[in-house]
Structure 1
Amino acid sequence: MTEDIASRRAARGRLGWRINAVGLIGLAVVVFWAFVAIFGPMLAPYPVSEIVDFDYFGGMSAQFWLGTDYLGRDMLTRILYGARYTVGISLAAVMLACFIGVTMGMVAATVGGWFDAVLSRAIDALGCVPNLLLSLVIVAAVGSSIPVLILTLAAIYSCGAFRFARALAVNVNTADYVKVARARGERLPYLIREEIFPNIIGPVMADFGLRFVFIVLLLSGLSFLGLGVQPPNADWGGLVRENISGLALGAPAVLMPSIAIASLTISVNMLIDNLPTRIRDRSE
């Protein structure tokens, strides 16, 4: 029995990785923005709020690589600082959302019965409210701060993570090895930790990447509406909002933050679309 369990755990731990050139490009861009989010403020050529040019909406030059904003501040510096808010808040929110949603989904699928029905209907009711509308109501009522943004985004997207994880866990819960574990008298924490979660981790990681993209876009939308990261700080959505009047001029100050948002979200999609993770069947 012990050898059988050990062999099944070893089989479960073997992952198949495949990645092509498109996935490598996506990975490179994601790693680049992660590096910028961590070390960007150290690399910034100017203080983030310092007015360094008397020409507002200045063009790109050898001195100002990405031009200047509506006050004459260096846009490269602003984008480097903004990456920490966009990437950091989105990553914290998606980690919290997936932890809550996936855990609740696995518990509901494993327990079943009235508990699963009540919890699923409650999540469905919350998920019926449009994400942007719900986030606007919460942030407007509570106030905009980084903890509030993280908790709001996590609460909104935990509903989708719950439904996704529950659908996967329901299928795994009917497998023979789970029935054997129940017959041995294993309790709920063991079933979730050792039997359910290891067999859904691949799709869950892909869903994690997609929800990260959704959260980046929703956070940028909130900041564009003035309810996201508040001045003097700014994420990329806030930078677009600050400099929107330069759009008619084709100013880099409004184009570059938009390109940063697009490059991050597209590269994450490229990565998760071309990095499928396969977990071997427990019967192998």
Structure 2
Amino acid sequence: MTFLQAPRVIRTGASKLASAPLSAKFGIAVVTLYVLTALFAPHLAPYGEAEIVGTQFEPWSAQFWLGTDNLGRDMFTRLVFGARNTIGIALMTTALAFSIGASAGLTAATFGGWTDQILSRLVDVLMSIPQLIFALLLLSIFGTSIPTLVIIIAVLDSTRVFRLTRAVAINAAVSDYVEVARLRGEGPIWIMTREILPNIAPMLVSEFGLRFCFVFLLISGLSFLGLGIQPPTADWGSMVRDTATLIVYGDITPLLPAGAIGLLAVGVNMVVDWFLHSASGLKD
């Protein structure tokens, strides 16, 4: 994109956003709010991420807007930092999963034959084991550090990306424009990157948003069980676990990190639905 083309692209994007349905605008607003919170977390939080500033389970007050947790840490501060940690790690994991799964899926669809069979059967074996149970097993063996968590979940989730990428890439691989490229003598790498990938990109972008939600929820679930993001790092899943006892006393504090998880998942799905609808070319 040249410098002269930038204003036109911006106007086109603004026009599409203006014509977007209310659900899409709501989803974009939610995602934007979460991203800004994650980026400016140190400036928004009144205390340090792991700083103990009061006694256990203090009620909401002017000093502690959302009270304190089981160790006396400020809940609002942990909620803000949780946005940075949970979203950042989920985004990194999803990107790695797509790098592995999409590359393998494109390779299987383009080369076919034994390459397709070997990759597909390997993925079938990994998918035959429930993802959560497999993740719990691997994390208990290799530890629960953040790099280990990212790699394990990315490898497991890449199997889903592989299946989708392979399915849509196979349809594109038998299209006329791909056959023409082969007749011109183009190599498989060129065909993958210049012919197949651009034509399946909208589907992959939409899947990226959906997979981000699944990864985000999986990491939060693992943290709730004690095998995800480890303390003192703030994470919404572990925050629900740490304050769960307050539910017995009618305190809604544990619902705040749970609500943050649910709201982000809803917002991302609304944006993905709008993008899929726009990419399909369908009109309301």
Q: 1:188 to 1:250 in 2, by over 3 A?
A: farther
* Structure 2 counterpart of 1:136: 136
SS of 1:275's partner is helix
- For 1:22-61, list aligned pairs within 5 A: 22-54=23-55, 56-61=56-61
Task: State the one-letter code of the partner of 1:245.
Answer: T
CA RMSD of aligned residues (A): 1.9
Do residues 102 (structure 1) and 105 (structure 2) align? no
* Structure 1 counterpart of 2:152: 152
Do residues 111 (structure 1) and 101 (structure 2) align? no
Distance 2:251 2:196 in 1: 51
Do residues 66 (structure 1) and 56 (structure 2) align? no
Distance 2:187 2:76 in 1: 54
* TM norm structure 2: 0.89
* Structure 1 counterpart of 2:197: 197
Distance 2:168 2:71 in 1: 51
Distance 2:201 2:223 in 1: 32
* Structure 2 counterpart of 1:216: 216
- For 1:219-258, list aligned pairs within 5 A: 219-258=219-258
Distance 2:51 2:115 in 1: 56
Distance 1:262 1:201 in 2: 27
Task: State the one-letter code of the partner of 1:166.
Answer: R
Q: Once the 2 structures are TM-superposed, how far is the Cα of residue 126 of structure 1 from its aligned partner? A: 0.7
5+ residue gaps in structure 2? 1-11
Task: State the one-letter code of the partner of 2:205.
Answer: M
8 Å contact kept, 2:50–2:233: no
Q: Once the 2 structures are TM-superposed, how far is the Cα of residue 279 of structure 1 from its aligned partner? A: 7.0
Q: 1:250 to 1:58 in 2, by over 3 A?
A: farther
8 Å contact kept, 1:220–1:236: yes
Q: Once the 2 structures are TM-superposed, how far is the Cα of residue 72 of structure 1 from its aligned partner? A: 2.5
SS of 1:66's partner is coil
8 Å contact kept, 1:68–1:252: no
Distance 1:47 1:115 in 2: 51
Q: 1:50 to 1:251 in 2, by over 3 A?
A: farther
Q: Once the 2 structures are TM-superposed, how far is the Cα of residue 36 of structure 1 from its aligned partner? A: 1.3
* Structure 2 counterpart of 1:5: none
* Structure 2 counterpart of 1:206: 206
Mean alpha-carbon deviation: is it higher for 236-245 or for 66-75?
66-75
Percent identity between matched residues is: 45
**How many residues are paired up?**
266
8 Å contact kept, 1:52–1:73: yes
8 Å contact kept, 2:49–2:234: no
- For 1:179-198, list aligned pairs within 5 A: 179-198=179-198
* TM norm structure 1: 0.89
Q: Once the 2 structures are TM-superposed, how far is the Cα of residue 49 of structure 1 from its aligned partner? A: 2.6
Q: Which has the higher contact order (CA 8 A, sep 6+)?
A: 1
Distance 2:239 2:58 in 1: 15
* Structure 1 counterpart of 2:163: 163
Distance 1:148 1:78 in 2: 23
8 Å contact kept, 1:57–1:253: no
Q: Once the 2 structures are TM-superposed, how far is the Cα of residue 46 of structure 1 from its aligned partner? A: 1.2
Distance 1:180 1:138 in 2: 46
Task: State the one-letter code of the partner of 1:27.
Answer: I
Distance 2:107 2:184 in 1: 19
Q: Once the 2 structures are TM-superposed, how far is the Cα of residue 271 of structure 1 from its aligned partner? A: 1.2
8 Å contact kept, 1:66–1:252: no
SS of 1:272's partner is helix
SS of 2:57's partner is coil
